[in-house]
């Protein structure tokens, strides 16, 4: 940044001679600045004559421009790579709304695979609409989906916005122009789900505890991480209500995804009976665990269980969220109150009216609705709630 060669204007302000000049904060519009030179009273010991005032004004303006130049040099030395690493670390450790490890994991993959190779060595101060336009073009050329492109661009914006000055103001405020960037519009996304017949077949085919796990996922709509984090202490005595106050990711127990994820989920008596039989005489520990009592691995469940089952049935490969979509669809088909659907799924209220409704506090009504809507699929032909055995790893009726 070259010095602008200002001289400043010397004016009278109140009882002082002051010099007025421009300041150029990094990433912002220029602003007026002024500093006192001397009193206007000639009898004052600090009074300066005209020549002295001009020399002092020149020194003040020159020092200001030198400071601006140094600040610019320092700002341009911060690359996108360096700021991205700081942002990811800060986002996970901050006390206010820390980002979940699963999200950080996805962000790090994005930074490693796409953002650093294309933007890593660029000064953060120069990342702007033109920069994103070129990035979007490259991502589009290799066939990334509109949703993925939008997500990656959003991460770039977060990194740029995370650079702050000592007063907490953004160093590089941007007016992002999606039209100029040519950011694709996210349309109908591919969101696989299961129908009732397929869901019943999945539960029947699954072996060992996976059959109960899948039945619970599809019969409640609870997220897979939340289900894997359920301990026996979270179940009511009759297993008809599950309290969600923790989740599991990569084997680690953590807090739920959002504040709304803290909730209770009610299930019908058929599923509750199977769950109670599955618990058996156990008194503590995880509801679903491996042989050493540790949380199950989502990756292993998909690779070794769900995906092979879907392939055998000729069903499109899908993840556990397909069961959550199945439950949501079933609840709406049965005309369950929208307030309860959001509550059971752990979704946020979206209107003032939603905030007024307190249906979630009416436990008896919740249980009645859960019983009436049922689960929407057959668990096992002629399966009765109790007794139930795990024979050769598969749910079967005692008969």
Tens digits of residue pLDDT in 369-388? 999 999 999 876 434 333 33
H or E element that contains 266: strand 263-266
Task: Choose between 389 and 185: higher pLDDT.
Answer: 185
Dihedral over Cα of 385, 387, 393, 394: its sign: negative
Pick from 130, 151, 181: which residue ends a domain?
181
Whether 174 and 222 map to the same domain: the answer is no
pLDDT tens figures, 266-317: 999 999 999 999 999 999 999 999 999 999 999 999 999 999 999 999 999 9
Residue 200 buriedness (CB in 10 A; 0-12 / 13-18 / 19+)? buried
Residue 5 banded pLDDT, cuts 50, 70, 90: low
Same domain? 30 vs 128:
no
pLDDT at 356 over 90: no
Which domain covers residue 222, as residue numbers? 196-397
pLDDT digits (tens, 9 = 90+) for 213-237: 999 999 999 999 999 999 999 999 9
- For the segment 15-24, the average pLDDT, to the nearest whole number, is 89
Residue 166 lies in a domain: yes
What are the CB-based long-range contacts (under 8 Å, 24+) for 182-187?
A: 182/133, 182/136, 182/137, 183/132, 183/136, 183/149, 183/150, 183/153, 184/136, 184/140, 184/146, 184/149, 184/150, 185/146, 186/146, 186/147, 186/150, 187/146
Residue 40 counted as domain residue: yes
Judged against a pLDDT cut of 60, whether residue 76 lies above it is answered with no
188 in a structural domain: no
86 in any annotated domain? yes
Whole-number pLDDT of residue 202: 95
Digit-coded pLDDT (tens) for 388-397: 343 333 444 3
Instruction: Please state the rounded mean pLDDT for residues 308-336.
Output: 95
Mean pLDDT of 85-112: 91
């Amino acid at each position: 940044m070259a010095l602008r060669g200002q001289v400043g204007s010397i004016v009278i302000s109140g009882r002082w001679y002051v010099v007025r000049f421009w300041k150029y904060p990094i990433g912002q519009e220029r602003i007026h600045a002024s500093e006192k030179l001397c009193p206007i009273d000639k009898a004052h010991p600090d009074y300066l004559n005209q020549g002295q005032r001009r020399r002092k004004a020149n020194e003040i303006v020159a020092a200001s421009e030198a400071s601006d130049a140094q600040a610019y040099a320092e700002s341009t030395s911060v690359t996108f790579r360096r700021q991205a690493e700081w942002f990811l670390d800060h986002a996970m450790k901050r006390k206010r709304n820390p980002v979940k490890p699963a999200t950080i994991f996805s962000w790090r993959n994005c930074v490693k695979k796409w953002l650093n190779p294309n933007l890593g060595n660029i000064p953060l101060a120069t990342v702007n609409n033109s920069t994103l336009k070129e990035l979007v073009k490259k991502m589009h050329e290799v066939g990334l989906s509109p949703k993925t492109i939008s997500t990656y661009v959003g991460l770039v914006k977060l990194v740029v916005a995370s650079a702050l000055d000592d007063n907490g103001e953004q160093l590089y405020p941007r007016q992002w122009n999606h039209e100029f960037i040519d950011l694709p519009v996210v349309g109908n996304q591919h969101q696989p789900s299961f129908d009732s017949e397929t869901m019943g077949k999945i539960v029947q085919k699954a072996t060992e505890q996976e059959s109960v796990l899948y039945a619970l996922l599809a019969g409640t709509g609870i997220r897979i991480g939340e289900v894997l984090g359920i301990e026996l202490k979270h179940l009511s005595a009759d297993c008809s209500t599950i309290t969600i106050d923790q989740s599991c990711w990569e084997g680690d127990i953590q807090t739920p995804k959002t504040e709304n994820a803290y909730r209770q989920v009610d299930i019908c008596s058929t599923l509750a009976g199977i769950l109670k039989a599955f618990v058996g005489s156990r008194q503590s520990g995880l509801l679903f665990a491996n042989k050493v009592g540790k949380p199950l691995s989502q990756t292993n469940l998909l690779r070794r269980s769900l995906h092979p089952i879907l392939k055998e049935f000729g069903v499109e490969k899908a993840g556990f969220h397909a069961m959550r979509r199945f439950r949501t669809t079933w609840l709406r088909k049965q005309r369950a109150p929208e307030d309860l659907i959001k509550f059971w799924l752990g979704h946020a209220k979206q209107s003032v009216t939603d905030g007024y409704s307190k249906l979630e506090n009416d436990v008896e009504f919740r249980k009645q609705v859960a019983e009436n809507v049922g689960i929407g699929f057959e668990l096992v032909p002629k399966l009765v709630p109790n007794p139930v055995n795990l024979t050769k790893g598969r749910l079967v009726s005692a008969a």
